[in-house]
Amino acid sequence: MTEKLSDYLMTAEAAEFLGVSQNTLRTWAKLGKVPVRVNPVNNYRLFRRKDLQAFLDSVAKPVSRKAN
């Protein structure tokens, strides 16, 4: 299966997708928490949509409500 450029988001788009700042996303990528690829032509960071969704799924915690 070949990947398309549309499968990837640049830093600003990926940060918005995750609901965090671009700096937070860059830090997470540097720490290896979020997979990142680098475009060899322009050195832009690229984040695959399905990697971002998998990250969200892994950190999501169900919200439980206590009965009053």
Tell me the pLDDT tens digit for each residue of 33-42: 999 999 889 9
Q: Read off φ and ψ for residue 12, nearest 5 degrees.
A: -60, -45
Please report whether residue 42 resides in a domain.
yes
Place of tokens 């984040």: 47
Please report whether residue 64 resides in a domain.
no
* CA-wise closest residue to 22 among 31, 10, 33: 10
When divided into structural domains, the chain yields a total of: 1
Confidence tier at 25 by pLDDT (50, 70, 90): very high
Please report whether residue 65 resides in a domain.
no
Domain around 14:
5-59
Token pair, residue 1, equals 């299966």
**Dmax of the chain from CA atoms?**
58
Can you give the pTM of this predicted structure? 0.80
Please report whether residue 15 resides in a domain.
yes
Q: Read off φ and ψ for residue 28, nearest 5 degrees.
A: -60, -40
Residue 23 and residue 37: Cα distance in Å, rounded?
16
Average pLDDT value over all residues in the chain: 90
CATH number of the CATH domain containing 54: 1.10.1660.10
Please report whether residue 66 resides in a domain.
no
